[in-house]
Amino acid sequence: MEDLAKGAGSGESDQPKERSRRDFLKTSSLLTAVALTPGVAIKAAENHLDEKVAAVFEKMPLSLTVNDKLHKLSIEPRVTLLDLLREQLHLTGTKKGCDLGQCGACTVHVDGHRVNSCLTLAMTTDGKKVTTIEGLAKGEELHPMQEAFIKHDGFQCGYCTPGQIMSAVACIREGHANSEGEIREFMSGNICRCGAYPNIVNAIMEVKNGGQQV
């Protein structure tokens, strides 16, 4: 009874009530903030807002000739030549295999020299001439190396083939196709999962020995 009387009359029992009300308000405000903030952040991430903002400020001019066609572009400095070719210029003949410089599927020529386009920043090709597999044929007329690959069955799934052909052409131009062993050594950066290597070597030997202009 004494406790009841105290509780009813002294006002001491209001304090815990008031505290719990304040705690409730604080907690619910916190929960509201937690519920809202990540939502906004997630939405921004979903829309790639950070990348879009960065892209607006970071783009740089690039002028390069691809397969005899001059392109004046605006690109992010981090873009690789491979991604530029495939995604911006829609030249998808050049393949992305490992994206790490290990398979050779992305081989193209820059100013006549073969490069792994996945390891080449597009900005470094400013003012240069790039040739991709699409640029080898003359209209309907295939390049001799393309003809030889077909004749010798130098591809199976064909995924590595554009890179193999670009390297094969470079191999002859570099003077590294004088024997089967030399061809194998200088084509070793191009991996074929299907194991079409003997046919590829035969194709290169034929073009080399045929003395055709590559």
Residue 140, token pair as written in the block: 């309907």
| From 4-12, 66-74, 92-100, 173-181, span contacting ligand FES (CB under 6 A) | 92-100
> Mapping DSSP to helix (H, G, I), strand (E, B) and coil, where does residue 80 land?
strand
Smaller CB distance to ligand FES: residue 59 or 134? 134
Cα–Cα dist 127/61, whole Å: 11
| Binds ligand FES by CB under 6 A, chosen from 76, 88, 99, 121 | 99
Residue 17, token pair as written in the block: 């009530």
Residue 203, token pair as written in the block: 């194709």
Is residue 145 close enough to count as binding ligand FES by CB under 6 A?
A: no
Cα–Cα dist 83/107, whole Å: 13
| Binds ligand FES by CB under 6 A, chosen from 98, 112, 153, 188 | 98
Is residue 116 close enough to count as binding ligand FES by CB under 6 A?
A: yes
Q: Tokens 């999962």 — which residue? A: 193
Residue 156, token pair as written in the block: 């199976």
| Binds ligand FES by CB under 6 A, chosen from 85, 89, 145, 196 | 196
Binding site for ligand FES (CB under 6 A): 96-99, 101-106, 116, 118, 155-161, 192-194, 196
